[in-house]
Amino acid sequence: MTAPLDAWGTLMAAVGHAAWIVEGEALRVILANGEASSLLGLPVETLVGAHAAELIGTPEDLAFWDEAASGQGDRLTSETTLADARGQLRPVMRRIQRITTPGECRHFLVTVEDRTAVVEQQEAAEQLVADLQATLESTADGILVSDLSGHIRAFNRRFAQIWGIPDHLLSERQDQAVFEWLERSVVDAEAWRRRVQALNKSAVALANERVVLRTGQVLELVSHPQRSHGRLCGRVWSFRDQTELVHAGQRIETLVTTDALTGLFNRRQVTEALDGAIARAKRTSGTLALLIVDLDRFKQINDSLGHEVGDQVLLDAAERLKASLRQGDLVARVGGDQFALLIHEADHRGAEIAARRVLDAISKPCAVDGLQFTLTCSIGLALFPSDGDNADELVRHAETAMHRAKLAGRAGFRFHQPRHDADLRQRMRLDHAMRQALASHRFRLVYQPQVDLHDGRIVGAEALIRWRDPELGEVSPGEFIPAAEDSGFIIAIGDWVLTQAVRQAAMWRTGGLEMPMSINVSALQFQQADFADRVTTVLQEHRLPPRLLELELTESILVHDADEALGRLSALAKAGVKLAIDDFGTGYSSLAYLKRFPIARLKIDRSFVSSVPSSDSDVGIVRAIIQMSRALDMKVIAEGVETEAQRAFLQEAGCDQFQGYLFAPALDALTFVERTRDLAAAPRRRFTLVANR
């Protein structure tokens, strides 16, 4: 046996795996190599003589050695597990092969290949695949991986969900059927097929391409080439469902560009449309008309009938405007009750025709919730290219023209007038200069004496505002007061006049001259909720008795809101403040109003005084005013008296007082005091004209 053992020893040393020889009768190990010793953790001396079933004792091995003992077993090859000397289990590939020796003795060669590293690699690969699949399934994107031949290598469930692919096509790996399904699902199948073919042959990435499906879904496609060892091996396709995002963007765009109530374009969109129309008209030498339509007295509808009815009226107006347009023209809602109409290829005549169509359409009777009423509108028109060469100019000019239509009585239209815009710019400059003047103390007050017609005494002073500007020079109150009323700055100016006039009257009183002070009050100032409180506060601050302050009000104040005006006037009269009607006869007062209000004095407007006694009509008006004041137990004063004939007539007619250049112009505070004292020293001095009026 020595020669075979030597030969087998040489063979086992060359095997490269653990190996040992088992004698067939006793089933004992007769030879083992070093690799077997290392694998099993036992020295070779211990292995030799060990029973074959002791080294690998799996049921499969035990059964084989039982068969071998009866002379039946020949070979066994399978993956199994052995336990080494430390009890650690090792995965192995075990092979048992019967070998025949001289003398027909049976022996078995056992070789064992340690598969620990291979199994660990397989497990790691399986874990990697599991991790990759879990990652694919956890993403919100649909993932598809294909090779260069177009076969599917991997996918996730989200991919199938997004595309609506039947489960069996993917589970049965019907790759061609899957790609055909994708092609049938898109809106543009031909473009999709060309894109897929091009990408499969390309090594470039594709990002953020939109794919629209027949179902209405919108997918975002991202695709990257896949490489292995630096070589192109396939492509990864990623699909993200952007349907909700796209729809949300569309809704946002609709909200941004469309009026929520009427569904018409809004101001932003009509401006963009106007810009585009102007650009086209410039290329073709065409014309355009822009109409700004504002519903008249719409606020009254909202205030009296409620906003729901107001919304119905706006919807009805929108439909009427759309019906009044030609095909291709545009209507938009640009404000609460304001609309814009863009009329293409319209000159002055065409714009006028469009405006009249709109007036007719809007003025048709309205019926909302059983209530019938008539709606009107005011329209401003601006033309391209004569009134502006850009959208901002046309809109601004049309809006200005619309406001002029409102001032002209509503229910009509006005074209843009360049001169009127120049006047508006001048008013803006004037408004700015006024605000600077108040902050810089450039306003001043002068005081015109009010004279008793019977004894010539000065019985009061009217405070009048004056303004000298370093750039504009002396600015007439007739110029800046209307501008202040338009801008609302008259409230600040009026408060300044009130404070300065009361302060001056208090200073005169402290100096021994108790002189009633009259000041003009604008309608806007009077309508402020705290006006009466402000008057009493100023009087208290300067310790001026209320009886020495007279407020001159216009007739429009009384008729604006009679009940509110009565409450405010009653509070002032109760505090002791005197009240007068300025420019009487030029407004719309009635005896009924005058009887209700606590008015102490009427002031005859200078327009009636200037023509007496030569004008019979003005003489009649003045006499009627004086007689009415007597009936109402009011004093009457005439302003603008410049001639002795006017003074004599007023005295004869029974007028109580007058003021004007015949006696004196408006004087500064010091000159007023001097004039009053001079007159007191010579109480019977005749009235004389002032030379420097």
Domain ranges of the chain: 2-114, 129-245, 258-416, 429-681
Report the CATH number of the 429-681 domain.
Answer: 3.20.20.450
pLDDT exceeds 60 at position 445: yes
- Domain 2-114 matching CATH 3.20.190.10: the answer reads no
Winning range, highest mean pLDDT, from 163-172, 211-220, 277-286, 439-448: 439-448
pLDDT exceeds 50 at position 686: no
- Alpha-carbon distance of 9 to 21, in angstroms, equals 9
- Alpha-carbon distance of 192 to 362, in angstroms, equals 52
Please provide the average confidence, as pLDDT, over all residues in the chain. 86
DSSP 586: S
111: pLDDT confidence band, cut at 50, 70 and 90? Answer: very high
255: pLDDT confidence band, cut at 50, 70 and 90? Answer: low
Report the CATH number of the 258-416 domain.
Answer: 3.30.70.270
Looking at 453-489, list the stretches that DSSP marks H as alpha helix, in order from N- to C-terminal side. Answer: 477-487
539: pLDDT confidence band, cut at 50, 70 and 90? Answer: very high
CA distances from 63 to 75, 113, 145, 410 (A): 12, 21, 48, 114
pLDDT exceeds 70 at position 3: no
pLDDT exceeds 60 at position 24: yes
pLDDT exceeds 80 at position 80: yes
pLDDT exceeds 80 at position 592: no
Helix (H, G, I), strand (E, B) or coil at 377: strand
pLDDT digits (tens, 9 = 90+) for 349-373: 889 999 999 999 998 888 777 778 8
Average pLDDT over residues 494-506: 97
Average pLDDT over residues 624-631: 90
612: pLDDT confidence band, cut at 50, 70 and 90? Answer: very high
Q: pLDDT higher for 57 or 256? A: 57
Architecture field, domain 129-245: 2-Layer Sandwich (3.30)
Specify the pLDDT at position 421: 59
pLDDT exceeds 90 at position 15: no
135 phi, psi to nearest 5 deg? -65, -45
Percent of the chain with pLDDT over 70: 91
Specify the pLDDT at position 689: 40
Query: How many C-beta atoms lie closer than 10 Å to residue 616's C-beta?
Result: 10
- Alpha-carbon distance of 118 to 183, in angstroms, equals 43
- Alpha-carbon distance of 144 to 219, in angstroms, equals 14
Specify the pLDDT at position 4: 64
Percent of the chain with pLDDT over 90: 41
pLDDT exceeds 50 at position 543: yes
SS (H, E, C) 593-658: HHHHCCCCEEEECHHHHCCCCCCHHHHHHHHHHHHHHHHCCCEEEEECCCCHHHHHHHHHHCCCEE
420: pLDDT confidence band, cut at 50, 70 and 90? Answer: low
Specify the pLDDT at position 101: 64
Rounded (10°) CA dihedral 421, 423, 428, 431: -160
pLDDT exceeds 50 at position 691: no
pLDDT exceeds 50 at position 28: yes
- Alpha-carbon distance of 81 to 90, in angstroms, equals 5
- Alpha-carbon distance of 275 to 269, in angstroms, equals 10
Q: pLDDT higher for 502 or 584? A: 502
Distance of CA 427 to the CA centre of its chain: 31
586: pLDDT confidence band, cut at 50, 70 and 90? Answer: low
H or E segment and range at residue 436: helix 418-439
Specify the pLDDT at position 690: 39
573: pLDDT confidence band, cut at 50, 70 and 90? Answer: very high
- Output the pTM of the full model: 0.51
Same fold, 2-114 and 129-245: yes
